[in-house]
Structures are given as C-alpha cells and as structure tokens.
Amino acid sequence: MNNDKNLYCIAATFNTPDEIINAAKKVSGAGYTHFDVNTPYPVHGMDDAMKLKPSKLGFVTLVMGLAGASIALLFMYWNISVDYPLVIGGKPYFALPAFIPITFELTVLLATVSTVAAMIMLFFQLPDNKHPLHDTQYMKSVSNDKYGITIEAIDDKFNETEVENFLKKLNPLNIEYIYFPPVETYPIFQPKFLLLLAGIALVVSGGTYFSLNKLMFMTPFTFMMDQDKLIPQKGSELFADGFGMRKPVAGTVARGFIPYPYKGQVNPTEVLSNPFLPTKENISLGKEKYDIYCSPCHGYFADGDSRLNGQFPNPPTLHSQRARDFSDGMLYHIMTNGQNVMPSYESQISRDERWAIVNYIRVLQRAKNASDADLTEMNKEAGNNVAN
Amino acid sequence: MSQTDFHYQKKELPASLTKFALILLSIGVVLSLIAFFVDRERALFGYLVTYMMIVSIAIGSLFMVALEYIAGADWSTPIRRIPEFFSKLLPFLFILVIPLLIFNHDLFHWAHEEAVAEDKILQGKAPYLNITFFVIRTFVFLGLWTLFYWMMIKNSRKQDTTKDQNLTTKNIRLSAIFIPVFAISITFTAIDFMMSLEPHWFSTIYGVYFFSGLVVAALAAITLAVIMLKERGYFSPWMNDDHLFSLGALIFAFVNFWAYIAFSQYLLIWYADLPEESFWYLTRWNGSWAYISILLIIVQFLVPYFALLTQPSKKNPKRLKFISVWLLLAHFVDLFWLIMPNMNSMKDGYTFSWIDLVFPIAGVGFIILIFIMSYKKDNLLPIGDPKLKRGMDFHL
C-alpha cells in the first residue's frame, strides 16, 4: 500500500452498456453503497441496476412550484384587490381567471429554475474542480466511449485486494487506482498578490475613468459632436454679439397667444366687453373650466368655501354685492391679471375659456340671488314641463 | 436476456367477456330504442354524445398508432395492437352516423330552413352549414379515416407473417400523411357535430379542445385494456413498470394539455366578454349546469392531475386503472357538457333522465365487442415488428 498517497477509489472500465449494467448490478448486489457509474450518455435501466432510491429533487420542484403559485396569487390579490383596487375591463377586483396565466408562469419559472439550480448545486455539488476523478485517464475514457464504475475507499466494505479481485471477475478493460490529488494551497494574503490586486484595481478604475471622461471627448470621438450648427443656449462665432440664440423681431407674437395690453392696470373695465353670448354650450364650457381651475379655492358655487383646508387663504364669496356689481370685463381682468393673492390664470386658461367662466359665474350669482321674477319664470317653465 | 427466446403464443380472451359485452349491448340497444320512441330529441342528443365518445376512442387510437410510427417510439410497439383493435371501430362509424344524418332536423338548428330564412347570421353561414355539404363532409372524413385505418392496419398485420421491415417504413410514410389529415378532419368533425349545435357561436380553438379530450379518452381506453390484459397475464413476463410509466406520463401530459386548452378558450371569452361569444358559457352556467361546469374542472383536470403527479403513481397499475376509467368518464362528461346544453328543453338547467344512461351502456358493450372481434383475427403482439424486441426490453 502506498502510504503517501490517499486512495479515492478503484475504477474499472467496460466496453458496452450491457456490461456496465451487469457490473452495476453485481456491485450493488455485493453490498457496496459508495460506488458510482460514469457513462458517456444516460444508460436506460441504470437506476434499478444501481439500486438507487428515488431522487428527492422532486420535493424541491413541488415546494418551489407551490411557492411560485402562492407568491403570484397573493401578490396580485394584494396589489389589485387590496392595496390599490383597480377596475380593469369591468372585471371584479379579484379576477381569478386573469391571474391564472401569471400564476402559471411564476409557478413554472420558480419550479424549473430552482430544480436546475438545486440539482447542480445541492445534488451534484458543482462547481467542484478539485474532484479526484478530474484529469484521470479513467474520466477521459468514460467521457468518450467507455463505461466505467468506481468503488470508493470510504465504503464500509472496502478492501483494496478484495475490490480489485471483485472487479477483475467482471472482465473489465482495465482497472485503475485513483488517488486524491495532493492538496495545493494558494495563500491569498501574500504581499505580492495584494500588490497585484491593487495594481489591477488602479489600472481598471483609472482606465475606466480616462476612457469615459477624457478619451470620449478627444478628437476622433468628437467628430459627431463638432458640427457647424447653432445650439440653443450655446455661444456662436457667427454673430457679432457671440450669442447662438437670436431675439425675436420686435412685435413678434407667439403662435396661439394674444397679448393682454391691460396687465397691471387696476380697472380697464370700460374697454373690455364679453364677446360670447351666455348660450348653453358656452356656459357648460365655463362650468367645466370653473370646476377645474376656480372651484378648488372659490368652491363649486362660488361661496369662497375652499377645499384646501386652510392651506391657502380663502377668497371672499363672489355673491357679495361688490362682486355682483363687477362688470364682465372686471371679472375677466381679475382672472387674466390676478388680484391680491390670486395669481394670473392667463397661461392656464385660454382667452375664450376665461370669458366662458365669466358667463358661468354670472349664472352662479343669479342662481344664488334669485329674484321673485326669476322664480315666476322658473315656475312657468316647470308648469310648461308638467303640462307637456 | 430472457426475452430473447420469447415465443409468442396466442391466448384467447375469456368467453365471459363476450357474453358480458353482448348483454350490455343488447340491454343498451333495447333501452335506446325505447328511449327513441319516448323522447326522440333527448335520445338523439344522448346518442350524439355516445357517438362522439366512440369517434374519440376510435380515431384517437389510430392517432396513437400513427404517433408511434412517426415518433419512432419502441416502448409502445408491444402494446400497439391495443390501439389497432380500438381503431377497428372506424369502419363501423359509417353505420353509427346514419341516425344522426337522418334525424338532423331534431339536432341542428341550422337545418331548419324557416329559421335560416329569418336569420342573417345563419344565412351567412349557409354555404357551409347545409345538409348536402354536411353529409358529404361526414362521409369524406369517415372515408379518409377508414382508408388510413385499412392501409396501416393491413401493413401491420402483414408484417406478422412476412416480417418485412419495409412495411414499417411504409407505415411511417402513411402516418406522416395521416397526421395532418387527422388534424383537419377532427377539427371539422368537432365543428360539424358539436359546435354547429349552437350555430351562432364560434370558437377557433374548438377543434384543438376536442383533440385534447379525444387523446385523453383514447389513451385511457388503451391503458385500461393494457392493464386488464396485464393483470390476467397476457403481457407477462416482459411488461414492466416503465411501460406503465410511459402510458401514465402520456395521460398526465394530455390531461394538462386539455386543461391548458380549455382554460385558453375560457380566458379569452371571459376577458373580451363579447355577447356573441360569452352566451355559450352563460348557458353552461344556467341553473344546475353550473355544478356540471365546475364538476368538469375537478373531474377532467384536478383529480387526475394530483392522482398522477408523482412518479410511483404512474407506475401503479391499480391507480392507473382507476384513473383510466375515471378519465373515460371525464371525457364523457366533457362531451355531455358540450352537447346537452344545446337542447332547447335543457337551456335553463340539467334535468336528469334515464335516457342519458342507456347509450353509454350500449356504447361500452359495442366497443368491447369490436375489441373482441379484432382480437380474434389478430395476434396480441406485432410479432413481425423489428422494434418489438427493443420495446419489450424497454427501460427508462
């Protein structure tokens, strides 16, 4: 016995799959438990011949599959039915059929990925580049066209001469002794290695910094950037003042923009009059815009009942005598120019919409302060409706 | 190995089986005739369910034979005669289909000329859905099936005596032609005999749906026959767990396939919720149909899925036998669920009647009888097939 070498196993190789099945049957029949078979491809019937127990891998698949299914279902349920309920396509919040495809996908994904990962990492214990069978003549032949069986030295029944005689009786091509490779150590914290590591870090980070921040802005790479064109906000040598951008010609008006000449004036009422008749369409346009832009502060009925919970000063009611006495032009001017803390709405609401809002405010004011004449008028209309 | 010197000796089926089949068939036929005079419409719908069941087993078995040839499978070669025996049902479909063609008026709404005259949609479909074309289609498909049955089975039987390997090659070529023919013909059969019962409805996946159920039924029938014969020693000593496992795995796969297709059809119609599509499912949700719809999911998918999930369960002959019977029943429920709610009197819910039970009795008797008939003429093993030995030695 060779004492300075540590025996891993005794290996035998055969020529045909039938021989290896027979060998596996004999070896497992003789009571060896720590043995393995290596073949170039899966040989049918090997599980039985080796008396292998059914793999436990299926349980990984089952558990991870169930995990995938429940994660998907619970997540979608919590997401769409509980935390942020959304109606999609008129379906109920918990629309099970719509959840099934994602549940199915996640079940399959988790089950398969974890099965493969568990098979490779837990069951095969890969990556392992120190396995004694590596780089042996045995492994070279069984990964090519031979069929091999190994009986490991850790087996309780293992006895070198007995095993060798036993394997010889099976008429193998050859028998090989495979030893553990000598343990090689690679101390990591050597000054030389650390220095190398630091050097590599320096070169990589420096190179990255240089190429991303400097190299990219050097001549051959900047060809596309250096173009003879005007770039907004950049200087240019084309014009005498050195600016790339030009001022518009005096009196230029932006597209769709009508300048308001009374900006900052107190009361331009006389010159402004409402160009729109209070028709149904115009009033409903005014209502729409009023509800969007004005109602947050002024309230839906212009009572000055802000919805902002005191985070912005409440405006006064528009039903006061003063407000009702404002001309249409004054209301338009306030919207356009702003008043006190109220900002200008010129940029948000178009000119025509502002006039429509004026019409709608008039409707609100009249509705809140209806006169007897209005009531008779209304009753008459109601009476007509009933009569009809 | 020991199978090398295997010598086939034919072992006859017990006479009691013939008696059993004859009793079932005669009881079934007598009761069916009575049912026909009691309630003609219901009897015809019940007959249609059983007819489609026989079509499923017959053409599904021929499909399994073709599949073995085209896939080059050898595990199934020793048991190939079982689907061949079942596919002998195909020529008999010519006779079985006649009542459906004669009494088409009771079955098909589109066969009513006065209804078509008032209905724009049916007028649009009239070039396809009319009696002449319907009969032509039916006989063309039955003729094609019988032709392929006759050619493939003839080659297979000839091989028993000549042991000519070229016959296998011939059958592989025939299978390659048969499979597209099969795909198209069963799609149109499903549309003609089942989807057109509700002529306003349409589903493009309907043919695939019928296919998925049909393969499950055929596999279940084959597995049931294999296990019954194995239990009585017809397949000893060579048959092992791995043959059963392969059958079980195929059943398991097609049970999943059925669920996948059935759910695909449901999901799209449920999601789009278009009235012209969704009413078909709503009919099947009326009254007691709702219970049968839910039952179908449990019977056709959940129970067989969990019963066959693990590897040992696919090798367990008792479990497989039970699941085979169960799946034959499930496919019957499936066809029942597809066909029966189209009856005008059953639109609001299922009402039980003894008529529903008489046709399956006759059908079971008929199938067993045909099986015995073809068994008598033929060897149980394809003894001339070059793949037979490999199939017997099959190991996973």
Q: Is residue B12 part of a domain?
A: no
Q: How far apart are CA B101 and CA B41, in angstroms?
A: 14
Q: What's the N-to-C CA distance of chain A in angstroms?
A: 120
Q: How far apart are CA A305 and CA A287, in angstroms?
A: 17
Q: Is residue B123 part of a domain?
A: yes
Structure tokens at B208: 């695939």
Q: Is residue B27 part of a domain?
A: no
pLDDT, residue B2, reads 41
Q: A294: part of which helix (H) or strand (E)?
A: none
Which B positions 309-368 lie with beta carbon below 8 A of chain A? 310-312
pLDDT band of residue A269 (cuts 50, 70, 90) is: low
> Does position A186 have pLDDT exceeding 90, yes or no?
no
Say whether B396 and A98 touch across the interface (CB within 8 A).
Answer: no
> Does position A1 have pLDDT exceeding 60, yes or no?
no
Segment A190-202, tens digit of pLDDT: 888 899 999 999 9
Nearest CB to B266 within list A45, A47, A97? A97
Domain count within chain B: 1
Contact B77, B380 (CB under 8 A): no
> Does position A157 have pLDDT exceeding 90, yes or no?
no
Q: Is residue B211 part of a domain?
A: yes
Say whether A97 and B396 touch across the interface (CB within 8 A).
Answer: no
B267 neighbourhood in chain A, CB within 8 Å: 97-98, 100-101
Compute the average pLDDT of residues A362-388. Answer: 77
A48 neighbourhood in chain B, CB within 8 Å: 395
pLDDT, residue A388, reads 53
B311 neighbourhood in chain A, CB within 8 Å: 54, 58
B263 neighbourhood in chain A, CB within 8 Å: 97, 100
Q: Is residue B26 part of a domain?
A: no
Radius of gyration of chain A from Cα atoms? 44
Compute the average pLDDT of residues A327-335. Answer: 86
Q: Where do the H-state alpha helices sit in A119-234?
A: 137-142, 160-169, 191-213, 219-222
Strand order in the sheet with A147-152: A35-38, A147-152, A7-14, A174-179
Say whether A44 and B394 touch across the interface (CB within 8 A).
Answer: yes
Segment A356-366, tens digit of pLDDT: 999 999 888 88
Say whether A58 and B271 touch across the interface (CB within 8 A).
Answer: no
Above pLDDT 90, what percent of chain A? Answer: 23
Segment A80-108, tens digit of pLDDT: 999 998 888 888 899 899 999 999 999 99
Which B positions 24-63 lie with beta carbon below 8 A of chain A? none
* CA within 13 Å, CB half, B205: 17
pLDDT band of residue A385 (cuts 50, 70, 90) is: low
B224 Cα to chain A: minimum distance (Å): 25
- Single out the residue of B136, B131, B42, B55 nearest to residue B96, CA to CA: B55
Structure tokens at B291: 């219970």
B1 Cα to chain A: minimum distance (Å): 10
* Mean pLDDT in order along chain B per 10 residues (396 residues): 60 90 94 92 93 95 95 91 94 94 90 89 91 94 96 92 90 95 95 93 94 96 94 86 92 96 94 91 91 94 93 91 95 94 86 89 94 91 88 84
User: DSSP letters of B187-213?
Assistant: HHHHHHHTGGGSTT---TTHHHHHHHH
Segment B125-152, tens digit of pLDDT: 999 999 999 999 999 999 999 999 999 9
Segment B17-71, tens digit of pLDDT: 999 999 999 999 999 999 999 998 899 999 999 999 999 999 999 999 999 999 9
Segment A288-326, tens digit of pLDDT: 999 899 888 888 888 888 888 778 888 888 888 888 888
pLDDT, residue A227, reads 79
Look at the block and give the residue holding tokens 């209304």: A378
Q: Is residue B67 part of a domain?
A: yes
Q: Is residue B29 part of a domain?
A: no
Residue A35's beta-bridge partner residues?
A151
pLDDT, residue B3, reads 44
pLDDT band of residue A352 (cuts 50, 70, 90) is: confident
pLDDT, residue B1, reads 39
Contact A365, A324 (CB under 8 A): yes
Compute the average pLDDT of residues A327-345. Answer: 86
pLDDT, residue A77, reads 93
Give the residue numbers spanning the domain of B235: 34-392
